[in-house]
Amino acid sequence: MKSSISSRSFYLVIITFILLSVLGQVSTGIYTPFFQELATLHSSGIGMIEKSVAIFLIAFSVSQLLSGVACDYLNKTRLLQAGLLLFMLGTLLVALANTPQVFLAGRIIQGLGGGVGVSVTRAFSKQLFSPQQLNVSLSLTNIAFSIAPAVAPLIGTLVGHYAGITAIFGVVLCLALLAFWLLFYIAPQLDSQHKPRSLHVISETLALMRTCLPRILLVGVASGLLYGIVFGFVTVSPSLLMDEHHFSKTAFSLFSLLATLCFVLGSYLNIRLQTVSAVYKFKLSGLIILGLSCCTLLWLTTMSSNTLWGTLLLGYLAFFFAGIAMPCSVSLMLSFSNTSAGFLAALVGFFHLSGASIGAYLVATINMPPALTFVMVTTLLSFCSVMACAVVHPAHNEQD
């Protein structure tokens, strides 16, 4: 694979970029088993701890957008280092907080620092890697994104049980320090491969918006809606499995891990299908999800038997094909421009978070049985996604 970075260093850079990307997810998931204990520790209601997740996501999304745009103009390595330092400062505040206000302030600072790693590493990957390496990089990051939310609560439970709640945030700080050391170690190589920034970034970005804005928006919307299906399943599955069908928390965890495994398998298959164009894999994945959801919806509305297993099967298959589609959508978005890669990476995060919010909101507000709600939402979102990407064609760089 030809690229500006050697194959020998490829996976070291990948490991560093993945760690930078998932720190935000880990910092949230790792303390979710201890909401009640944290509320007691800070002499507050559990609502304050739940609020800490919401304000983190807001800061995280704002940070992704701003840092993605900024990295087109600033040194990406230095920007990543600054984001990590900010994240570590926030983690220290969270660990040492003695009031709810300090705890929430720490979570905001964590979000502002953690969001930098997601957008900037995507833009950096576009610059450093060949198209084949970029596909592998995005797929491996996609796998890490799916594993982190499943593994982080387990790590938090073990650490919190044996070492105390404060030690949970110590683990997050250690991961951030490891990421900082890895980034420091590879920084000379990254800087040596750093391409000179164009003197006309603003004008080239504006030209990109004039010529490609409709296609950029269509790819972003189509990708975000498929991501919304994933979060729709995540949101509705507790009601479906534990409330309606009375499965235990342990069984629910196993069902959730199986969904994660399906997502990982889809991402792995995307790596193996390197000779197939990203736009073809992306379109085909959306079409298959739409076909499966239509068949499931027809079955649910005509059969009076137990609908659990059919709904779960649809959810797992949706996770599998979303695992294929997500890295393809990022690759398609980044293919529109080399100069404005940071801006495009920021848009990817914006559309994914927006789609996730739409999927979660729809399944939470539709007043129907959980199975029927999820299938209806999946059908709607996949249909809109297919319509959005029906006229999408690969950009010139992606074709190459």
pLDDT tens-digit series, residues 95-124 = 998 888 999 999 999 999 998 988 888 888
CATH number at residue 245: 1.20.1250.20
d(CA 110, CA 88): 7
Q: What is the pLDDT of residue 321?
A: 95
Residue 244 and residue 369 share a domain: yes
Q: Which of 259, 91, 111, 267 has the alpha carbon at shortest distance from 174? A: 91
The token duo for 280 is 């073809």
d(CA 153, CA 316): 21
Which amino acid is located at 266 in the chain? Answer: G
Long-range contacts (CB closer than 8 Å, 24 or more residues apart) made by 292-297: 292/317, 292/318, 293/318, 293/375, 293/378, 293/379, 293/382, 294/379, 296/375, 296/378, 297/375, 297/376, 297/379
d(CA 40, CA 350): 34
Residue 292 and residue 266 share a domain: yes
Residue 237 and residue 158 share a domain: no
Q: What is the four-CA torsion angle of 311, 372, 237, 103, rounded to 10 degrees? A: 150
Work out how many domains the chain is built from and give that number. 2
The token duo for 298 is 């027809």
Q: In this structure, are residues 285 and 325 in contact, taking their beta carbons and an 8 Å threshold? A: yes
Q: What is the sign, positive or negative, of the torsion defined by CA atoms of 351, 356, 359, 365?
A: negative
Q: Which residue, 150, 170, 192, sits at the end of a domain?
A: 192
Question: Low-confidence residues of the chain, pLDDT below 50?
Answer: 1-2, 395-400
Residue 114 and residue 32 share a domain: yes
Residue 368 and residue 255 share a domain: yes
Domain assignment present for 275: yes
Q: Which residue, 146, 164, 192, sits at the end of a domain?
A: 192
Residue 368 and residue 219 share a domain: yes
Task: Count Cα neighbours of 115 within 13 Å in the Cβ-side half-sphere.
Answer: 29
Neighbouring residues of 161: CB distance < 8 A, sequence distance ≥ 6:
none
Rounded to two decimals, the pTM is 0.74
* Domain that residue 239 falls in: 201-399
Q: What is the pLDDT of residue 398?
A: 45
Domain assignment present for 361: yes
Q: What is the pLDDT of residue 397?
A: 44
Residue 154 and residue 60 share a domain: yes
Q: In this structure, are residues 128 and 190 in contact, taking their beta carbons and an 8 Å threshold? A: yes
Q: In this structure, are residues 326 and 269 in contact, taking their beta carbons and an 8 Å threshold? A: no
Domain assignment present for 253: yes
Domain assignment present for 1: no
Residue 257 and residue 148 share a domain: no
- Whole-angstrom CA distances from 74 to 111, 215, 242 are 20, 27, 49
Q: Which residue, 160, 192, 224, sits at the end of a domain?
A: 192
d(CA 315, CA 292): 10
Task: Count Cα neighbours of 248 within 13 Å in the Cβ-side half-sphere.
Answer: 3
Domain assignment present for 118: yes
Residue 208 and residue 153 share a domain: no
Residue 211 and residue 159 share a domain: no
Q: What is the pLDDT of residue 316?
A: 93
The label of the residue with tokens 């804005």 reads 213
d(CA 25, CA 10): 24
Long-range contacts (CB closer than 8 Å, 24 or more residues apart) made by 170-177: 170/95, 171/30, 172/23, 172/26, 172/27, 172/30, 172/91, 173/88, 173/91, 173/92, 173/95, 175/19, 175/23, 175/26, 176/23, 176/84, 176/87, 176/88, 176/91, 177/88
Q: What is the pLDDT of residue 291?
A: 96
Residue 210 and residue 179 share a domain: no
Domain assignment present for 2: no
Residue 33 and residue 180 share a domain: yes
Q: What is the pLDDT of residue 64?
A: 85
Domain assignment present for 394: yes
Domain assignment present for 158: yes
- Whole-angstrom CA distances from 400 to 146, 282, 328, 336, 389 are 29, 17, 15, 12, 20
